[in-house]
Structure 1
Amino acid sequence: MKKLKIAFLILASFLVVFLIVTGIRAMMVETKQPKPIPTTEAFDEETAVKHMSEAITYETISYQDRTKFNLNEFDRFIEFLQKSYPLVHEQLELEKVNEYALVYKWKGSDPSKKPIGLTSHYDVVPVLSGTEANWEQKPFSGAVSDEKIWGRGTLDDKIGVIGILEAAEHLLKQNFKPERDMYFMFGHDEEIGGDEGASAIANLMKERGITFEFVLDEGGAIVENMVPGVNQPVGVVGISEKGSATAELTIEGSGGHSSQPKNRTNIGRIASAIAKLEETQFKGDLRGPGEDLFEFVAPEMSFGMKYVFANKFIFEPIIEKILLGQPATAALIRTTIAPTIFQAGEQYNALPEEAKVIINHRLMPGDSLEDVKEFIEETIDDPDIKVTVTGNEASSVSSIDSWQFKTIQQAARNVYTDAVIAPYLMFAGSDARHYDPVSKDTYRFLPVQITGEDLNRMHGTNEHVSIKNYLNAIKFYIEIMKEGNK
């Protein structure tokens, strides 16, 4: 009995020490948010809204088949820019790459400093045929209604192009003189990969030996109710984007009449392979940009959540299990598996001689195309299924400790003073990846506060942006131009 009592006291003492140590760790977590310096910049908001409204009316649509491009609309859009931003076109150098990608250079006073680059794109995706009647305002009307600007491109991504130029025009009126060169780089084919836009611009910069301190593109945004335990809006800045790979699994063999099937048919074997992959999945691992996100938001969490993340070395398995419970958070910590196309058979009573599935994978930084291929082959364990994997791996991971990231944080906080600005891993693709070879760091951030519903509208029906959000985007770009030149 005495030994049991001693053991209990030892255990209780250990538990007390554990709670004290872990509690102190939670209380010692310090905020990673810079103190906001609220912007006081004032500009002609009415004219800015008119410019954005008109920008939407130009149907600068990207098609996979480039012969479908209506280049007259692209020409008209460029003419509109020249007319709307006279000081930009008088004082900045404009160069056209492949005729339609635009590069503006604002020369700085100190040539010893590396330039910064702000990039966006002015092409948009088509409106799905047959859905036009579902729009509350016509998709290329640029209508201003209910304190919103409506139309394709309001969020993706003419808001970036117009926001940057509005900011530059305003600063030119104020006789602002940048210390370092600034480049504004606007692609015209981002929606189909950016080969003739951002990629060509980046190659040109490489040829000229120009490297950037940082390049900022579209990407994350400011979203409410994004992180459990955080009451403030969270603005996420992409410091990397996942790779995108296409895996093709194919099996061939004799077909025959459906009245005499083998126990394992071609369709059955491919279906079994898919089932094995979905049941197994890549291992979740809270590391890299995903881990960085929680390090930045943990200090702003309620104490219970802060306690867990401050002691991540203990609770990591539990955290990972929770994150893997939802598709959005699971994608943050593992390479994903998404079967998207299944092809087999042509006749209801004939066994197909070939079955094939296409699987889209979004790769975590650190996972290679070869890793994906090996994982698939080991998991399905069927030597008769041929596996090929093509695509691109994740982009490089940009710094979160540098002045470059802190500049973006500060600019965002100056406009959205109550937002928590944190790094994250971007799931989709952007033009930013093209600039990796010519920039020390590349970041992805759309400076608007939006809802999950807004995200669905970007390539869907009823895309629009609130006037307040649009004006805040201009303010952000003003702030980033000033903060980046300190």
Structure 2
Amino acid sequence: MKKIKKVALIFGAIFLLFLIVTVYNAFAVKSKQPEPVTTTIQINEEEAVARFSEAITYQTISYQDRTKFDLPEFDRFIAFLEGSYPLVHEQLELEKINGYSLIYKWSGKDSSKNPIGLTSHYDVVPVLEGTEDNWEQDPFSGIVADGIIWGRGTLDDKIGVISILEAVEHLLSQGYTPEQDMYFMFGHDEEIGGDEGARVIAETLKERGITFEFVMDEGGAIVENMVPGVSQPVGVVGISEKGSATAELSIEGSGGHSSQPKSSTNIGRIASAIAELEATQFKHDLKGPGKDLFEFLAPEMSFGMKYIFANQFIFEPVIENILLKQPATAALIRTTIAPTIFHAGEQYNALPEKASAIINLRLMPGDSLEEVKEFIEETIDDEAITVKLDGSEATNVSSPHSKSFQTIQQAARNVYEEVVIAPYLMFAGSDAKHYESVSMNTYRFLPVQITSDDLQRMHGTNEQISVENYINAIKFFTELIMASDKLEATD
């Protein structure tokens, strides 16, 4: 009996110690958010909206087939910029890359400091044929109605180009000069990879020996109800983007009449391989940008959630299981598998001699193409199936603790005082990846507050942005340019 009591006392003491330590950890986490300094920037909103509205009317559409580009329309857009932002074009140096991508250089007071780079793109995706009538307003009208600006590019990503130029024009009108050089780089083919735009811009600047303190592109945005336990809107800044690869699984063998099928057909074996991949999945792990996201959010959570996330070293398996239940959060912690295309057969009563499937994979930082291919081959375990893999690995992970990241945080908080700014892993692609070779850090953030419906509209029907969001984007870039004056070079 005494032994039982002794054991109970020991377990009680251990539990009490556990409770003290974990509760202390929950109370000890400190906010990583800078105190906002409410922006006092005043701009002529009516004129700024009118310029953005006109920018939307230029059909600067990117097509996979580059021969379909309406290049005169791109020329008209560039001419529109020159006429709309006279101070920018008088006082900054403009260089055209491959005729249509633009580099604006703003010389600062001290050119020995690492420059800052802000980048966006002005090309847009086509309107899907057959959906034109589904738009409430013409997709290239730029109509402003009931506080909403309509049209392709209002979200992706003419808003970035125009907001930056509005900010620079405003600062020039105030006689402002930045401390260090600043570059504004606008691609014309981001929607098809940026190979003739951002990639060549980066290569050109690298040849000149230019290294940026940081580059910021589009990417994350401000969203509500993103994370349980966080009541405020959350602004996510991409510190890396997942790699994108395409795997082709193919098999060849005898076909024959469908009345006498083998027990294992070409279609069946490819289907089994896909089923095995979906059932197995890549290993999940809360690390890197995903882990950073919750470290920044934990201090802002309600106590119950804060308790769990402040003690990740104990509750990590529980957290991971929760994250795996939703596709958006599962993608934060593992390489994803998405079968997208299946090819097999031509006639209902003939077994196909060939079958193939295409799988899109989004690679976590640290997962190499070689490792991904090896995982696929080992998982399907079928020597008759050939696996071909092509694509790119994830980008480098930029620091969420750098002065550059804090500068972006500060600018965002000055405009959106209640928003929590945190790092995250971007799932889609951007031009930012091209600038890694010329920048200490690359970040991805579109400074607007959007809804889940807006995310669907980005490449879809009824793309739009509120006037308030657009004006706040101008204020953000103005704040960011001024806040960058306080940056010190990275060691």
Q: Say whether the fold is shared (TM-score over 0.5).
A: yes
What's the counterpart of residue 224 of structure 1? Answer: 224
The residue type equivalent to 2:432 in the other structure is A
What's the counterpart of residue 195 of structure 2? Answer: 195
* Partners of 1:454 and 1:139 in 2: CA distance: 15
* Partners of 1:119 and 1:268 in 2: CA distance: 47
What's the counterpart of residue 357 of structure 2? Answer: 357
Shift of 1:335: 0.1
Cα offsets for 1:327-373 (capped at 9, x unmatched): 00000000000000000000111111111000000000000100110
* 1:185 match: secondary structure: strand
Shift of 1:5: 2.1
Shift of 1:283: 1.0
Shift of 1:179: 1.1
Cα offsets for 1:117-176 (capped at 9, x unmatched): 000000000001111111111100000001010000000000000000000000000100
The residue type equivalent to 1:472 in the other structure is N
* 2:317 match: secondary structure: helix
Shift of 1:284: 0.9
* Partners of 2:450 and 2:318 in 1: CA distance: 30
The residue type equivalent to 1:102 in the other structure is L
What's the counterpart of residue 250 of structure 1? Answer: 250
What's the counterpart of residue 170 of structure 1? Answer: 170
* Partners of 1:398 and 1:2 in 2: CA distance: 57
The residue type equivalent to 2:153 in the other structure is G
What's the counterpart of residue 444 of structure 1? Answer: 444
The residue type equivalent to 2:160 in the other structure is G
| Worse-superposed segment, 353-362 or 4-13 | 4-13
* Partners of 2:8 and 2:399 in 1: CA distance: 48
* 2:355 match: secondary structure: strand
What's the counterpart of residue 143 of structure 1? Answer: 143
* Partners of 1:307 and 1:456 in 2: CA distance: 34
* 2:118 match: secondary structure: strand
* 1:316 match: secondary structure: helix
The residue type equivalent to 1:267 in the other structure is I
What's the counterpart of residue 48 of structure 2? Answer: 48
What's the counterpart of residue 206 of structure 1? Answer: 206
What's the counterpart of residue 417 of structure 2? Answer: 417
What's the counterpart of residue 345 of structure 1? Answer: 345
What's the counterpart of residue 37 of structure 1? Answer: 37
The residue type equivalent to 1:339 in the other structure is P
Shift of 1:2: 2.5
* 1:162 match: secondary structure: helix
Q: Find runs of 4+ consecutive structure 1 residues off by over 2 angstroms.
A: none
* Partners of 2:264 and 2:229 in 1: CA distance: 50
* 1:46 match: secondary structure: helix
The residue type equivalent to 2:15 in the other structure is L
* Partners of 1:117 and 1:29 in 2: CA distance: 33
The residue type equivalent to 2:142 in the other structure is G
* Partners of 1:46 and 1:177 in 2: CA distance: 25
* Partners of 1:41 and 1:271 in 2: CA distance: 58
* Partners of 2:198 and 2:455 in 1: CA distance: 23
The residue type equivalent to 1:399 in the other structure is S
What's the counterpart of residue 67 of structure 1? Answer: 67
Number of residue-to-residue matches in the alignment: 486
What's the counterpart of residue 489 of structure 2? Answer: none
Shift of 1:11: 1.5
Unaligned runs of 5+ in 1: none
* Partners of 1:114 and 1:12 in 2: CA distance: 57
Shift of 1:402: 1.0
What's the counterpart of residue 374 of structure 1? Answer: 374
Matched, 1:308 2:308: yes
* Partners of 1:87 and 1:51 in 2: CA distance: 15
Shift of 1:262: 0.6
What's the counterpart of residue 330 of structure 2? Answer: 330
Shift of 1:6: 2.2
The residue type equivalent to 1:296 in the other structure is F
* Partners of 2:111 and 2:104 in 1: CA distance: 17
* Partners of 2:109 and 2:8 in 1: CA distance: 72
* Partners of 2:68 and 2:98 in 1: CA distance: 17
Q: TM-score, normalised by structure 2?
A: 0.98
* Aligned pairs for 1:80-95 within 5 A: 80-95=80-95
Shift of 1:9: 2.0
| Worse-superposed segment, 13-22 or 241-250 | 13-22
* Partners of 2:258 and 2:295 in 1: CA distance: 57
* 1:375 match: secondary structure: helix
Cα offsets for 1:382-417 (capped at 9, x unmatched): 011000110000000001111111110111111010
What's the counterpart of residue 260 of structure 2? Answer: 260
* Partners of 1:14 and 1:67 in 2: CA distance: 71
The residue type equivalent to 1:401 in the other structure is H
Shift of 1:12: 1.6
* Partners of 1:310 and 1:459 in 2: CA distance: 37
* Partners of 1:263 and 1:136 in 2: CA distance: 53
The residue type equivalent to 1:204 in the other structure is T
Matched, 1:384 2:359: no
Cα offsets for 1:298-323 (capped at 9, x unmatched): 00000111100111100000000000
CA RMSD of aligned residues (A): 0.6
* Partners of 2:381 and 2:75 in 1: CA distance: 54
* Partners of 1:472 and 1:447 in 2: CA distance: 8
Shift of 1:235: 0.2
* Partners of 1:156 and 1:440 in 2: CA distance: 25
What's the counterpart of residue 403 of structure 1? Answer: 403
The residue type equivalent to 1:289 in the other structure is P
Shift of 1:198: 0.3
Cα offsets for 1:415-446 (capped at 9, x unmatched): 01000000000000000000001111000000
* Aligned pairs for 1:83-122 within 5 A: 83-122=83-122
* Partners of 1:158 and 1:299 in 2: CA distance: 35
Cα offsets for 1:63-87 (capped at 9, x unmatched): 0001101111111101110110000
Matched, 1:464 2:486: no
* Partners of 2:14 and 2:441 in 1: CA distance: 45
Unaligned runs of 5+ in 2: 487-491
The residue type equivalent to 1:154 in the other structure is T
* 1:36 match: secondary structure: coil
* Partners of 2:465 and 2:482 in 1: CA distance: 25
* Partners of 2:44 and 2:146 in 1: CA distance: 20
Shift of 1:3: 2.1
Identity rate of aligned residues, in percent?
75
* Partners of 2:441 and 2:3 in 1: CA distance: 61
What's the counterpart of residue 241 of structure 1? Answer: 241
The residue type equivalent to 1:341 in the other structure is I
